[in-house]
Amino acid sequence: MKRIEYDVLIVGGGIAGLTAAHRLVDAAKTAGTPLRIAVVEKAKNFGAHVLSGAVSNPRSVKKLFPDYETNGFPLEGKCAESHLTLLGAQRAKDMPFAPPEMNKTGYLILSLSNVCAWMAENLVEKTKDTAVAVDLYNGFAAQDILYSGQRVTGVRVDDTGAPEQDNCYAKITIFADKGLLSRDLIEKFNLAQSNQTYAVGVKEIWETDQDFSGKVWHTLGYPLMDGNFGGGFIYGLKDKKLAIGMVAGLDSENPNLQPPQILQAMKKTPFVQQMLKGGKLARYGASIIPEAGWFAMPKELAVDGAMIAGDAAGTMDIKGFSGVDKAMESAMIAADVAFGALQKNDISKAALAAYQEALLDGWVGQELKASRYYRHAFHENKALFSDYLPVVLKGLDKGCMMSGGVKAFFSGPGGLISGGLNLLKLMGGGGSGELRLPEDRTCPKPKHNAVPLAEPEGFAKNSVYLTPDMVFYAHTHYHHGNDHIKEFDAAVCKKCIARFEAGNNPPPCVGDCTADVHSVLAKDGAKSHQMALENCVQCRTCEIVCPEKNIRVNPALHGSGPDFRGL
């Protein structure tokens, strides 16, 4: 890549980045103004590193693509049946009083990887015969941010040995990545107001003999029964495909979550087994989810020459899992402000600050503020899920759920009544003051004693997989020399290993890995940390849960990594 100057550079070709690009193109075409845009995306193909549920409120898709139902936009369907299901090891039951935010009827069922691939292709088509130029640099990973004083001037991309030619410059840079580079911008300008709280989501696509299209299930309960925040999802896709996944909070005391195996445990239940009968696994992947919401958003979303949008800005609203629509809306507002700033030839922080004001004053900010204590509600009331929920599920499996429920209901001040009321108060927006959740990396306990799960009966063993076997379905491929995970100090890792193994647990980087990357090597009486980087799906879980901040995940070079297309 030779040095080229752009008006707007977008870092990250996910849903937020491509939304910003589309909005800029539309604005320039309407105004009849020339505009040069670049999108740098680390994956070999657009969509290849994008993984999400996703069942989305259609409002932002409608805004960007008013003709989305007829223009070829890749829909997997619309939700016609929405269920919130209490899942036990042997039985399942729909909850009769599901929160309204969990009713997804009428929402769009999407494969976000397919959406991003289509958006990139469509972006090229819509700039033909116009004064707008869009350069799509897929397979180019942004490595560092470039500055002139305190102003962002662009990024350095793949390190191929010619530093000046590896720089991409722009008047305005929009960071729409998932933290791989935006974290550096936030740190440099001290923009963090609170710790971000993450979950990790693992997902599979199954080709089945049955048609579940338009049906959506979100599950609560088995196998997350130790107070850990999370749950399952099952979405019926077109062509008799099924998306199935689990989301688990990384603020868990358990250093040995084994996220892929949490999903396998869910798949062993009769409720899921009947859906998978006769089917076969087609795809697997994993991704992190920023869940803290309002309080963890950067205190400023713009600096001189740059803006932060989408997941990088923490716009995910865990209440109702509203992420796609808010990421798109934030990107559209950022694009509108960026275009206006360029027209006025003012790319200062003051000019770009209108983006944050419009975002937070609009429906995105209003909804995020209303749900600002939602994630904290579960963190503060873990006993409800570690003590009460297993009792209820045990009753459910025995066909007498109410007996367990009544016992827990009258369990005193620490039981369902007080805890439930506090939970509902916080979920509904009650609470006061600023909130600072603990860093995820401080939560794993070396001596955590995980409660063994009751094994479901009669599951088909060929429907569940060991983690090393699942990696095959992530289609990872790395070029030689892709050392994209950095261990800063091997001695620090050795001490961490010793501390956790003394409590009969692996270190969190090993126990929470989604792709069998991290392991402990025993040699000559000593134990050390080792990595199989060729397995990595670029989820960043290891970096987030490392107690010593001794691991950093960088964007893989030259288009390397997983291939999530179709997930």
In a domain, 283, yes or no: no
Question: Is 9 within the bounds of a domain?
Answer: yes
359 and 302 in a common domain: yes
- DSSP-derived pairing of the beta strands 230-236 and 302-303: unpaired
Residue 406 within any structural domain of the chain: yes
- CATH classification of the domain holding 56: 3.50.50.60
Phi, psi of 377, rounded to the nearest 5 degrees: -55, -40
Q: Are 142 and 155 in contact (CB under 8 A)?
A: yes
Task: Mark which of 370, 395, 420 sits at the end of a domain.
Answer: 370
Where among 434, 456, 471 does a domain terminate? 434
**340 and 391 inside one domain:** no
Kindly state whether residues 302 and 423 are assigned to the same domain. no
Which residues 6+ apart lie within 8 Å of 267 measured at CB?
244, 273, 276, 459, 463, 464
Do residues 302 and 421 both lie within one domain?
no
Residue 316 placed within a domain: yes
Cβ atoms within 10 Å, residue 24: 28
Q: Beta partners for 138?
A: 41
pLDDT for position 425: 57
Q: Is residue 179 within 8 Å of 172, Cβ to Cβ?
A: no
Does one domain contain both 182 and 121?
A: yes
61 and 125 share a domain? yes
**Number of domains the chain is built from:** 2
H/E stretch holding 498 reads helix 490-501
Say how far apart CA 201 and CA 229 lie, in whole Å.
12
Q: Is residue 153 part of a domain?
A: yes
What pLDDT does residue 159 have?
Answer: 62
Residue at 132 is within a domain: yes
Instruction: Tokens 């794993």: give the residue.
Output: 444
- Predicted local confidence at residue 482, as pLDDT: 84
Kind of pairing between the strands at 132-138 and 230-236? unpaired
Of 323, 354, 370, the residue at which a domain comes to its end is 370
Cα separation, 216 vs 214, in Å, equals 7
User: Which tens digit of pLDDT belongs to each residue from 396-417?
Assistant: 988 876 544 444 433 444 455 5
Does residue 421 share a domain with residue 299? no
Token pair belonging to 438? 């603990």
Half-sphere exposure of 43 (CA within 13 A, CB side): 24
Listed as ranges, residues in the chain with pLDDT below 70 are 1-3, 159-165, 401-433
Q: Is residue 564 part of a domain?
A: no
Same domain, 303 and 391: no
For residue 440, tell me if it sits in a domain.
Answer: no
- The string of pLDDT tens digits covering residues 180-239 is 899 999 999 999 988 999 999 999 999 999 999 999 999 999 999 888 889 999 999 999
Q: Are residues 65 and 127 in the same domain?
A: yes
Write the secondary structure of 535-556 as one string of H (helix), E (strand) and C (coil): HCCCCCHHHHHCCCCCEEECCC
Query: What per-residue confidence (pLDDT) applies to 50?
Result: 96
Residue 187, domain extent: 5-69+112-195+293-370
Which H/E stretch holds residue 203?
A: strand 198-207
Residues 356 and 385 in one domain: no
Q: Are residues 364 and 385 in the same domain?
A: no
Assess whether 123 and 22 both reside in one domain.
yes
